Amino acid sequence: MDLKLLTYIVVGLSFALYIGVAIWARAASTGEFYVAGGGVHPVVNGMATAADWMSAASFISMAGLIAFLGYGGSVYLMGWTGGYVLLAVLLAPYLRKFGKFTVPEFIGDRYYSRTARIVAVICLIFISFTYVAGQMRGVGIVFSRFLEVDIVTGLMVGMGLVFFYAVLGGMKGITYTQVAQYVVLIFAYTIPAAFIALQITGNPIPQLGLGGTVASGEPFLQKLDAVVQDLGFAAYTSSSMSTINIFAITFALMAGTAGLPHVIVRFFTVPKVKDARSSAGWALVFIAILYTTAPAVGAMARYNVHATVNSAVTASGGDLFATDSALLYEARPDWMRRWEQTGLLKFQDKNGDGRIQYYNDKNTSADFTARAEAAGWKGNELTVDNDIMVLANPEVAGLPNWVIALVAAGGIAAALSTAAGLLLVISAAISHDLLKGVFMPRISEKSELLAGRLAAAVAVMIAGYLGYNPPGFVAQVVAFAFGLACASLFPTILLGIFSKTMNKEGAISGMLVGLGFTFGYILYFKGIFITPMAENIPANWLFGISPEGIGMVGAILNVVVALVVSKLTAPCPDHIQHMVEDIRTPRGSGLAHSH
């Protein structure tokens, strides 16, 4: 069957499944709209949380990052999984025991301040819209390639689908839709990985194949190192990232995970406090299936791309710089022709020889330059976008069309599941935290539900615009969102649970300083929504920390400012201190206060 037709069928069936689930589980009350009625089983919630969490960044972009960063890409694996340990231990059970619908509601009540609640909403909106921009870019990439439509059309279809099940179903509909999306995306990720691992290493388990051998008996990673180094790139198993930057990015991603509003709100959907911790454990299990597969997917994608472009890669001892080793442009495979149409893979014939030469422009060693120039090289001629590596991998490896169609459905499921969760969080922040919590406290439940749906509709349209004009590639934009969450909400929630004396002035000051500093730093170096104003090179970074890791510094500033301001202002009221003790004390221990 034709790939395009097959992709339409597979993606269409997955859409029908999501819409059917959304209709079955539609929300009838604000409790069901915001927290699915609080009755979701921990295993089901863990699976929904995993889908909510494994966004387009995890499915589409993370393995692409690992493919080009090599060992240095491990910071994303460590940060995005380690954050769940922080969440399960430090936040989830306490927030569930507190029993409110949203993160701003917790912050407003804990810090006895409507202003604190409003500042938390501002932080949440900054985080969520930065994050959702990455998801919508992912939707655009998948649709533009596999459904062969332009990105605007793809975004419109994606926006329509998210609008339908987020606005109709609320958290109840989203929870069960995300379970279906998890099943789709995990099969879509692991089945092609198993095929490719078997093809390259003879082992169908990707995690084992990564440490296995190729047909010649040479270790796969050693072979990959040789391939990329021969082309002038750094060894795949090496990293040029500084220790401080590795630590900062890992910390920002971990703390950002634990501070993400759309992840935290999932722990309000389970019946009991114990279930919140159990949910986090199950989520980590479901996430680990994809995250332990990603390093193999990234490494094998990198190998396959080089093997396609330089035919001598697969011939032991072949000269990669020989004039006949580079691929003739006219003989390029169909997968390259298809991805060229999206603009995410580009070829520029700099020496006019009709061949695709894929070498490292930035390598200045005399030996490399001499050999490359002797082969007529005048600079790298191929540009491959990070975000196509996972999606293109099955096509590069020549896998059956049904596998390629499954990957398309998985990529869309990953992007839409997270986008829906984020849009609901934005909706709840506006209707529940601002409208009911601040401006119209006596609003009826029916009116609040309508306001929540209208807010979600507006958020969908803004998200679509950000998907059309994204501020970076998917995983990079998502990393910025994590940095903002790390610097603003995470320290404030943590101090709210574990410090009885933290007052409202300290919390508000800390959030504003953390958010302002981190957003300003990212804006300065990455030029989100504007023209970049500074060279994004390590020598210019504060303490050598990249914009992806600067959330760690923002979090430290948040805590320092909060502690100093709280010491200089009125102490936290007694009833709030007793409430904090109650949150931290297990029920049934006999120690809880009765205030």
Q: Which residues sit opposite 154 in a β-bridge?
A: none
Q: Which residues contact 497 (CB under 8 A, 6 or more apart)?
A: 90, 91, 94, 95, 580, 583, 584
Q: What string of DSSP letters covers 282-304?
A: HHHHHHHHHHTTHHHHHHHHHHH
Residues 209-240 pLDDT 10s:
888 888 778 899 988 888 788 777 888 888 77
Q: How confident is the model at residue 512 (pLDDT cuts 50, 70, 90)?
A: very high
Domains of the chain (ranges, CATH numbers): 3-300+395-584 (1.20.1730.10), 301-394 (no CATH)
Task: Spell 526-555 as b/e; 16+ CB within 10 A means b.
Answer: bebeeeeeeeeeeeebeeebbbbbbbbbbb
pLDDT at 175 over 90: no
In this prediction, residue 468 carries a pLDDT of: 73
State the average pLDDT over residues 125-131. Answer: 78
Min mean pLDDT across 32-36, 98-102, 349-353 is at 32-36
Residue 464: pLDDT above 70? Answer: yes
Angle at 361 between CA 358 and CA 367, to 5 degrees: 95
pLDDT at position 248: 92
The pLDDT score that the predictor gives to residue 590 is 43
pLDDT at 472 over 90: no
**Angle in degrees, CA 491, 494, 497, rounded to 5:** 150
CB burial class (10 A; 0-12, 13-18, 19+) of residue 156?
Answer: middle
pLDDT, one tens digit per residue, over 33-45 is: 555 445 677 888 8
Cα–Cα distance list, 465 to 121, 197, 471 (Å): 21, 38, 11
| Rounded CA separation 272/440 (Å) | 30
Q: Return the top range by mean pLDDT from 94-98, 102-106, 230-234, 547-551.
A: 547-551
Say what the alpha-carbon torsion angle 49, 87, 124, 288 is, to the nearest 10 degrees.
-40
Question: For the residues of 540-583, what is the DSSP string, one character each?
Answer: GSGGG--TTTTHHHHHHHHHHHHHHHHHHSPPPPHHHHHHHHHH
Q: Which one-letter amino acid corresponds to residue 93? A: P
How far apart CA 523 and CA 341 sit, in angstroms, is: 31
Mean pLDDT of 17-28: 69
Of the chain, the percentage scoring pLDDT greater than 90 comes to: 10
Place of tokens 């539609």: 26
Q: Nearest 5°: CA angle at 81, between 174 and 544?
A: 120
Contact in structure between 387 and 61 (CB atoms under 8 Å): yes
Mean per-residue pLDDT for 97-107?
Answer: 76
User: In this predicted structure, what is the pLDDT of residue 586?
Assistant: 56
In this predicted structure, the answer to whether residue 513 has a pLDDT above a threshold of 90 is: yes
Distance CA 226, CA 297 (A): 18
Task: Work out whether strand 327-328 and strand 355-356 pair parallel, antiparallel, or are unpaired.
Answer: antiparallel
- Alpha-carbon span 576 to 111, nearest angstrom: 8
Mean of pLDDT values over 545-554 = 90
Q: What does the pLDDT look like over 290-324, one tens digit per residue? A: 889 989 998 988 888 877 776 644 443 445 566 55
Picking from 187, 147, 189, the residue whose alpha carbon sits closest to that of residue 2 is 147
Would you call 340 helix, strand, or coil by DSSP?
Answer: helix
pLDDT band at 415 (very low <50, low <70, confident <90, very high): confident
Q: What is the pTM of this model?
A: 0.78
